[in-house]
Amino acid sequence: MKGRTVTIHEVAREAGVSISTVSRILNGTAYVADDKRQAVERAMLELGFRPNYLAKTLMTGRSMTVGVIAEDIVSPYYADVIRGVEHAMLDTPYQPIVNSGHWSRKYESRAVETLIYRKVDALLLLGSTLPDETLQEIASRVPLVVFGRHVAGLEEHCLTLDNVRGAYLATRHLIELGHRNIVHVRGPQGQQDAENRVHGYRMALADNDISHRPELEILGDFIEQPAYQALSHLLETRVPFTAVFAANDQMAAGARLALHRQGLRVPEDVSLIGFDDLPSSAFTSPPLTTVHQPTYQIGIALASHLLNVLQGRPSRLPAFDLTLVVRESTRPLR
């Protein structure tokens, strides 16, 4: 099937030089006389020479790849971060290798091991379910950058957003519109972002003298179906509310459907706000008011930082703000 692999030896012989010379031309390591250079280049072309990256890596110790592990490639949220990472690396000698952690410690640590085993030069974690100690141990083996997680001792390589504030903004927006009975569809227990958003929600209520009613805090799982069910259930109990703040856009979609099933319109009857600002959220009907995460730019920043670290350049992760994007799913009460 595949034609015999041609090595630098054959190129060298064909061009009448030594293998070192070929290697030099390949890597621009030193000046080479023009005639030899041309002979070598012609030989490479004729023989269809392709350098063996493995052999090169074995020597240099650097593979020019960085491992990227996202909780889930399918999640549109992480996908957009990945897009940023890919674009930032597009015209660099480094190549990202993407893997999923599948929201599980087992698979995530498996992915980590596999990637280190494949000698990636660095690791980028988009979200992580692993405990701090494990992450620290990993960082001792390979340069590590983490998004969406604070890890003790790795502060300068962690990029997190102020989710508390984001949730606060969202909730305050609803309050400013006159809403007081605000449902929060929260993310999974224990998940850092989810907890922070709950926190921001509660803070905004407290700051506006609205008493916190536990029954309005319902549990989703950052995807549509559970959020749909949770809100449907709440609707059955007839607890009154006029607005819903979902902890992410996917759950907002689930919530919206639950409302729709009850004949409740958004925003006429109930205001709805999400979190993340997925690319698709600008195109729901009506377009979703939500908290924007600059995921693409974050991807770019993470990749740039990683590349800097890899090349020994000084670098620090920039800070990103979460901003409220008011579209058409929220409106003043009445």
Partner DNA sequence: CTGTTAGCGCGTTCAA
Partner DNA sequence: TTGAACGCGCTAACAG
Q: How far is the CB of 254 from a copy of itself (least distance, A)?
A: 6
Q: Output 59 or 190, the one with its CB closest to DNA.
A: 59
CA pair distance 333, 329, nearest whole angstrom: 12
CB-CB contact of 197 with 164 (8 Å): yes
Q: How far is the CB of 279 from a copy of itself (least distance, A)?
A: 8
Q: Is 199 in the site for DNA (CB under 7 A)?
A: no
Q: Which does 20 bind (CB under 5 to 8 A by kind): a copy of itself, DNA, none?
A: DNA
Residue 324: CB atoms within 10 Å: 17
CA pair distance 312, 256, nearest whole angstrom: 49
CB-CB contact of 176 with 324 (8 Å): no
Residues 56-95, interacting with DNA (CB under 7 A)? 56, 58-60
Residue from 129, 191, 196, 250 binding a copy of itself (CB under 8 A): 250
CA pair distance 167, 324, nearest whole angstrom: 9
Q: Output 204 or 252, the one with its CB closest to a copy of itself.
A: 252
Residue 236: CB atoms within 10 Å: 9
Angle between helices 224-237 and 249-261 (to 10 degrees): 40
Q: How far is the CB of 90 from DNA (least distance, A)?
A: 22
Residue from 13, 47, 51, 86 binding DNA (CB under 7 A): 51
Q: Is the previous residue joined to 267 through a cis bond, with omega within 30 degrees of 0?
A: yes
Report strand pairing: 144-147 vs 271-273: unpaired
Q: Output 242 or 295, the one with its CB closest to a copy of itself.
A: 295
Q: What DSSP string describes 19-47?
A: HHHHHHHHHT-S---HHHHHHHHHHHHHH
Q: Which does 332 bind (CB under 5 to 8 A by kind): a copy of itself, DNA, none?
A: none
CA pair distance 181, 122, nearest whole angstrom: 47
- Which residues of the chain form contacts with a copy of itself (CB under 8 A)? 1-3, 50-55, 57-58, 63, 65, 73-74, 76, 79-80, 82-83, 86, 90, 95, 97-100, 102, 107, 114, 116-119, 140-143, 224-225, 228, 250, 253-254, 256-257, 259-260, 266, 279-280, 282-287
> Which residues make up the interface to DNA (CB under 7 A)?
5, 7-9, 16-21, 23-24, 26-27, 29-33, 36-37, 49-52, 55-56, 58-60
